[in-house]
Amino acid sequence: MSSDARQGIQSVEVAMEVLTALEEARRPVSLSTLAKLADLQPSKVHRYLVSLVRAGLAAQEKGSGLYTLGSAVRRLGIEALRRVDEASIASQHAVELRDRTQHTVSLSTWSDAGPTLIRWDYGAYPLPIAVRVGSVLPLADSSVGRVCLAHLPQAITMPVLKGQQRRGETRTYTDSELAELTDDVRRTGVSVTTGAIIPGLAVIASPVFGPGNGLALVLGMALPSRELTASLTRRLSDDIVKTSTIVTRDLGGQVRHQTAADPP
């Protein structure tokens, strides 16, 4: 291949800059506004828009004259979402997190029974627990469960929570205590529990959001509680939030929290 072929086609890259600016605008915009967002001259943006509109990748509203994404982009987006394998994408990053920290990592998703483990990758530290994929976790007592309580609608979580409480599978909190727990998860992006389910086990969990910005998965990290100092908690919390943020963006979701290191 020639050097030019390997370098790509510059005009296509510029067209993508225009489309990216249209996407980042989150609404129909004028030519001048789009040019500012793309950091390009308006005359240059207009030439690209003519071709993008012809291809259906952009559209111009008849009444206002504002530009927005076209129907072809919507079709591409729908097909891209159809092909997303959330667990597969997240698993790649989860294993990297395990290798980087040497601590056990997990992935969980919501099912009719509650938060359910779908992946468990052991780290270098022995844990006081034998885990089976498919296990359902207690909502109020587990880090994973608290993430679900914080980011899923109560209409979904409350019936499961009440059922677990009735069967003695999770403890009962007052409304104010539960609100404090979930508010903290939403603010920091993590839930940290020590010995809540199994004595000697500490777990840090963080949400992963998917298309439509709903909770898709929960990324967890388990380690012996004796290892979890205050400084290590901060470092691992920051690491797991950064990883869950990367996965969220890969899935097309939107991050809802600050990083763990950010001030409230």
Domain that holds residue 142: 86-251
Q: Do the domain assignments include residue 256?
A: no
Same domain for 137 and 45? no
Q: In which region does residue 134 sit, left (phi positive, over 0), alpha (psi from -120 to 50) or beta (all else)?
A: left
pLDDT per residue over 48-58, tens digit each?
A: 999 999 999 99
How long, in residues, is the chain? Answer: 264
And the tokens for 195? 């010995």
pLDDT per residue over 175-233, tens digit each?
A: 999 999 999 999 999 999 999 888 999 999 999 999 878 999 999 999 999 999 999 99
pLDDT at 95 over 90: yes
What is the domain-level CATH number for residue 103? Answer: 3.30.450.40
Same domain for 134 and 246? yes
Helix (H) or strand (E) holding 58: strand 58-60
| Domain finish residue from 25, 47, 82 | 82
Same domain for 41 and 149? no
For the chain, give the mean pLDDT.
89
Same domain for 35 and 138? no
And the tokens for 212? 């439509």
pLDDT at 3 over 50: no
* Spatial distance between the Cα atoms of 145 and 83, rounded to a whole number of angstroms: 28
pLDDT per residue over 131-175, tens digit each?
A: 888 889 999 999 999 999 999 999 999 999 999 999 899 989 999
Same domain for 78 and 36? yes
| Domain finish residue from 82, 99, 126 | 82
Same domain for 112 and 232? yes
Same domain for 74 and 58? yes
Same domain for 229 and 158? yes
* Spatial distance between the Cα atoms of 168 and 198, rounded to a whole number of angstroms: 15
Q: What pLDDT, on a 0 to 100 scale, did the predictor assign at position 193?
A: 95
pLDDT at 103 over 90: yes
The whole-model pTM stands at 0.69
Any idea which residue has 């079709």 for tokens? 75
Pick 76 or 107 by higher pLDDT.
107
